[in-house]
Amino acid sequence: MSHEKKGSRYWDDRFSKQAYAYGEAPNDFLVWAAPQVKKGKVISLSEGEGRNAVYLAQLGFEVTAVDFSSVGLAKAQALSEKHQVKIECVLADLNDLQLEPNTWDVVVSVFSQPESPIRQRLNAQLASSLKMGGALIHESKVSEDEDASGKYPGIALLQREIAPLHVSFAHQGSRILAEGSYHVGSHTTAQILAFRV
């Protein structure tokens, strides 16, 4: 069985419960960052059950939600219908995803934490895939090991990977998460708001 199939089966199982695994409310860093970016076409990576995509659609963004769990995306579509907004759901593994040049006004990566080679490839495409003035909104968990270059790197490494984007806000530290059943309690995260200038 491929890594992709094992991974998607894990997430299909997590998303198969009636409740939303990470809640229906958007990530609070996204809520803080969204008013600071220009409205337009946004792609949300590893969107899961749609909480962030639906929020952005409510703000007037044209949203594409990408995930490799069909179960998660079905719930995302249901959440968009509940809130009477439209999102486009794309079933894709980040390992195969290409960020097309000069396409996006915003790239959202909220707790999308692929293996290091996949993350590095996507981060290297960010600057060209964003339109001029476009933005990256990023939050991810950070490993206890500051030098981790695996799935949970620190903010210094992330900032190097997204160059030449201009970083307008970057913070790494412990914060309390209250997102559904799985993001609860104190976690160290890296938060970045960056622009193509």
Please state whether the peptide bond connecting residue 101 to the residue before it is cis, i.e. omega within 30 degrees of 0: no
Q: What is the pLDDT of residues 176-196, one digit of tens each?
A: 888 888 888 899 999 999 999
Instruction: Enumerate the domain spans of the chain.
Output: 3-195
Q: What is the 3-state secondary structure (H, E, C) of 57-114?
A: HHCCCEEEEEECCHHHHHHHHHHHHHCCCCEEEEECCCCCCCCCCCCEEEEEEECCCC
Give the predicted TM-score (pTM) of the model. 0.91
Q: What are phi and psi of 24, to 5 degrees?
A: -100, -10
Q: What is the pLDDT of residues 78-137, one digit of tens each?
A: 999 999 999 999 999 999 999 999 999 999 999 999 999 999 999 999 999 999 999 999
CATH 3.40.718.10 fits 3-195, yes or no: no
SS3 state at 13: helix
